[in-house]
Amino acid sequence: MIIVKCGCSRQIHLFPSDKSKCPFCGGDVKAKGAAGNAPDNGLSPLSGMLSAIDKSISLKDFDEARRLIDDALELMPGWEIGEIPGSGELHWRKLLAETSCRSDAELLLKKKKPLSDHAAFVNAERYASGNERHVYALVKKTDELIARNLTEALDESELEAKGETGVKGALAEFGRELGKLKAAVQKSIGHLDEIEKSIREQFMDCTASSDEFRYALEELLAEATKMGKGIELEISAEQKSDGEAVFERILADSRAELERFKYFIANDEGHFVFARLVGEQKAACEKIMKAKAEIEKINADAEELLESFEKVTKDYTNARADVSKGVFSRAARLLSKERFNDEVSSAMQSAKAG
Instruction: Give the amino acid at 105.
Output: A
Higher pLDDT, 91 or 219: 91
Name the percent of the chain in helix, strand, coil, to the closest 5: 75, 5, 20
Diameter over CA atoms, the chain: 144
State the Rg of the chain over Cα. 46
pLDDT on residue 354: 57
With H, G, I as helix, E, B as strand and everything else as coil, classify residue 34: coil
pLDDT(192) > 90:
no
Which tens digits make up the pLDDT trace of 31-62? Answer: 665 555 455 444 456 778 899 999 999 999 99
Higher pLDDT, 268 or 321: 321
pLDDT(327) > 50:
yes
- In angstroms, the CA 317 to CA 163 distance is 16
Which tens digits make up the pLDDT trace of 269-293? Answer: 767 777 888 898 899 899 899 988 9
With H, G, I as helix, E, B as strand and everything else as coil, classify residue 4: strand
Q: Do residues 26 and 20 make contact, with C-beta atoms less than 8 angstroms apart?
A: no
Q: What is the mean pLDDT of residues 286-308?
A: 90
- In angstroms, the CA 96 to CA 121 distance is 9
pLDDT on residue 81: 57
Instruction: Give the amino acid at 191.
Output: H
- In angstroms, the CA 309 to CA 159 distance is 11
Q: What is the mean pLDDT of residues 198-214?
A: 73
Which tens digits make up the pLDDT trace of 239-262? Answer: 667 667 777 777 787 777 777 777
- In angstroms, the CA 189 to CA 30 distance is 85
pLDDT on residue 239: 64
pLDDT on residue 41: 46
Instruction: Give the amino acid at 72.
Output: A
